[in-house]
Amino acid sequence: MNNFNSILEFINKTPKTELHLHIEGSLEPELMFKLSKRNKVEIPFKSIDEIKSAYNFTDLDSFLKIYYEGSNVLINEEDFFDLTWEYILRCKKDNIVHTEIFFDPQSHIPRGISFDTVINGIHKALTRAHTEFGITSKIIMCFLRHLDEEQCFEVLNHAVRHKDKIIGVGLDSSEKGNPPQKFKSLFEEAIKEGFLTVAHAGEEGPPEYIWDSLNLLKVKRIDHGVQCLQDDKLVEKLRDSNIPLTVCPLSNIKLCVFDKLENHNLKKMLDKGLRVMVNSDDPAYFGGYLNTNLIETAKALQLSLEDIKILIQNSFKSSFLDEKTKNNWLSKI
């Protein structure tokens, strides 16, 4: 078997976890079209092909505009269930045994969709994933950072009512100009309520946003973090504290963070001893789920089998699973 075939086989057969996945970003054009008809919600596209050809982004904000528009078709609990269940079927195909998914309640509540409709639909699909396939999961609620802190406090109150289903809170949406310090009090309150914290930082924004996420928001993981290599002291801090960085290679190419996958800095991050792993972010918009991300990245950066193994191990180590379960999965890689 040649070298690349053995890498392909390893990626396909190894149990994996995913830690950076926006459930609304797994809305495939086919389901978007189906839900727009089912719920009589107009979308600015006439066909599935037209939807697909609109997915040419120049940066994060150009993507977010389409992403929030796409979410408008999600109305009923059943829609959130179907959305999540479709993602779970992809997990099964990719041999993902544990997933930690984000959701964005603030893109639904202003449209008149209740928080309970959203969380209950997602949670029911994840419960079925466990009984039917043994796939485990955690739910992380993200705050939209382009909104003000006051609005985020309202959604935190909803999350508190559903503490049994939500393990942590995160920060997503438009990064530049919306620094972590804007949400310092909100995250303090979330931590007091017992939520773990994570944040998107250093996707497009500067290394200072990564520092501030660590120091002010007390995050357990940095989502993306690829801009950290601009700051040697930060790299030292991330490495010495084993802070996970949930990197999303295909996302970074689609949003023009790097011009091509061959120029992505994942391998450099790995070689510096950073706790990086691969994730799909918004797979329906960025051209692939977890295995496609791993395969394309392995090809472009000429990763070795050992590199892939470390990426997958890092992902389990960085998950919010208990230590015993983590070690059980790690023993199988």
173 binds, among ligand ADE, Zn ion, none (CB under 5 to 8 A by kind): ligand ADE
Least spacing, CB of residue 256 vs ligand ADE, in Å: 12
- Which tokens in the block code for residue 27? 């809305």
Q: Which member of 172, 189, 296, 307 binds ligand ADE (CB under 6 A)?
A: 172
Applying CB under 6 A, does 182 fall inside the site for ligand ADE? no
Number of other residues whose CB lies within 10 A of the CB of residue 115: 19
- Which residue is at the shortest CB distance from ligand ADE? 172
Count residues binding ligand ADE (CB under 6 A).
11
Whether the Cβ atoms of residue 330 and residue 32 lie closer than 8 Å to each other: no
Least spacing, CB of residue 224 vs ligand ADE, in Å: 7
Q: Which residues have a catalytic role annotated?
A: 203
CA distance 248 to 250: 6
Residues 191-220 that bind ligand ADE (CB under 6 A): 200, 203
CA distance 105 to 153: 12
CA distance 68 to 25: 9
Applying CB under 6 A, does 251 fall inside the site for ligand ADE? yes
Residue 20 three-state SS: strand
Instruction: End-to-end CA distance of the chain: give it in Å, rounded.
Output: 20
Q: How far is CA 275 from CA 102, 183, 264, 271, in A?
A: 20, 25, 16, 10
Residues 256-285 that bind Zn ion (CB under 5 A): 281
Instruction: For 152-255, list the strands marked E by DSSP.
Output: 168-172, 196-201, 221-224, 244-247
H or E segment and range at residue 139: strand 136-144
Q: Per-residue string for binding with Zn ion, 281-320, x by CB under 5 A?
A: x---------------------------------------
25 binds, among Zn ion, ligand ADE, none (CB under 5 to 8 A by kind): ligand ADE
Least spacing, CB of residue 38 vs Zn ion, in Å: 27
Q: Which is nearer to ligand ADE, 172 or 296 (CB)?
A: 172
Binding site for ligand ADE (CB under 6 A): 22, 25, 60, 67, 172-173, 200, 203, 251, 281-282
